[in-house]
Structure 1
Amino acid sequence: MLKECRKGHIFGVPVADGQVALGQVIVPLASNFLAAIHRDLIRADETDVLAARLDTPVIFAETMDFKIREGVWPILGSRGIPGSIRLPNYTVWVEPPGEYRIQSIDGTVGSSAISAETAGEMRHQKSYAPAFIEAALQALHGFRPWVSAFDEIILPSGK
């Protein structure tokens, strides 16, 4: 049975040896979602997952929802989004008129131009495969080698 991905859902991302990293759906987006995934690993059979701290994610990335929908990343509960979580803004080039603008997570593009310097400090919106997120978590915990591509989704305070 397919599961629906909803804002606030807490899910488990399998990492290794029966351990999962907890994630939370921050914003559902069609067949993707913005995820905040946390460093600490818990046993997959632990009962009190909602007692975990979910306010300091190590990974903050958009990914596809099929692992949740198929139950591979099981939904373990639900709770409100921590106030410390801020939605990202991205940069996008708008042609015409040929200028950078801010784009929100839902794809809405702002009406005012931003400078090339400001745009250069921002990221473009990008989605990552669930397998990439799993691999980054495994590398973060020493279960596989680290590759520099993981730097794209690991928050600066995460390593």
Structure 2
Amino acid sequence: MKKAIKIWLTGIFMIMLQSCHSQSNDLDSVIAKYDHTDFSGLKNASVYRRSLGNQDNTSIYFVNIYRGKCSPYVVELNDDSKAIVEISNKLVLKSCGKDYLSRAEIEKILEKYVLYNLCLIQVDNEGNVYINPDRSDLPILLRKSSSSPPGDIGLFKAYKGNWYIRK
């Protein structure tokens, strides 16, 4: 029993420490690369890569609706084939008591997400895009939609064009 708890705690600790990329991306190159990218396939979604998976060549992703009140789905994805190995809804059921995304919706979100070399992507209903290229904590870049500014725009300062950087 103690060994299982130790393994579990070690896993949690590794998840907390691990970020997406070891190298830092230059923000200007990220902006240039994604300035005209269509993120509409991730509308009202939040996805981030959290850690290496339990099996070789897999990673763990957290998938949620944008600003969802429930915990995210924990998805293990094969890094080579981009196929889902496992979807865990344990956190979802614990926090909300019921599922809020179907397997097909999770697959569609991850199919779009893996097209980008970013750690964290969140897209609200108005098309505002939040990005963190290197870490899975807070988004550091915001690409403001022309249709509607986000309610949290005060957390960001204008950087260039329709891009904002976290203050």
Question: Please, what TM-score do these two structures have when normalized by structure 1?
Answer: 0.25
Question: Of the two structures, which has the highest relative contact order with CA contacts closer than 8 Å and spacing of 6 or more?
Answer: 1
Question: Please, what TM-score do these two structures have when normalized by structure 2?
Answer: 0.24
Of Structure 1 and Structure 2, which has the larger fraction of its residues in helix? 2
